[in-house]
Amino acid sequence: GAGVSQSPRYKVTKRGQDVALRCDPISGHVSLYWYRQALGQGPEFLTYFNYEAQQDKSGLPNDRFSAERPEGSISTLTIQRTEQRDSAMYRCASSLEGGAYYNEQFFGPGTRLTVL
């Protein structure tokens, strides 16, 4: 079956512009996570959803970052007034059911964001 998909795969934008990154999770997956990965580092948690409810947004760096999952499926991560320090790989992951003891997160290919 289809895995987690993300679009666009690459995004180059100018400082100050807004960007919207999309994640399409595996069908039927309840939980959806956003991570950010800097070059040479491990992914860092940003936020996650169970169905349409945002359960934790403690990893969002500041109020320029927001995320939504209005129908409990596709999610959008929005960065307003982008800055050069926002440049990174943004990864989405989904899992069958949050809270289960063994709950593998399946990662998407990521969106490489470059802010000029």
Partner 1 sequence: AQKITQTQPGMFVQEKEAVTLDCTYDTSDQSYGLFWYKQPSSGEMIFLIYQGSYDEQNATEGRYSLNFQKARKSANLVISASQLGDSAMYFCAIRSNFGNEKLTFGTGTRLTIIP
Footprint on this chain of partner 1 (rule: CB under 8 A): 31, 33, 35, 40-45, 48, 55-56, 59, 89, 91, 93, 95, 98-99, 101-107, 109-110
Of 110 and 115, nearer to partner 1 (C-beta) is 110
Q: Centre a 10 Å sphere on the Cβ of residue 74 and count the other Cβ atoms it contains.
A: 14
Q: How far are the Cα atoms of 28, 38, 50, 57, 87 from residue 53, in angstroms, in the given order?
A: 15, 27, 5, 11, 27
What is the smallest separation between the CB atom of 35 and partner 1, expressed in angstroms? 8
Strand, coil or helix: 85:
helix
Structure tokens at 104: 């593998």
Helices (H) and strands (E) in the chain, counts: 0, 11
**CB-nearer residue toward partner 1: 80 or 112:** 112
> SS3 helix, strand, coil % of the chain, rounded to 5?
5, 45, 50
Give 17 or 114: the residue with its C-beta nearer to partner 1: 114
* Residue 9 or 15 having the CB closest to partner 1: 9
- How near is the Cβ of 15 to partner 1 at its closest, in Å? 25
Least Å from the CB of residue 18 to partner 1: 25
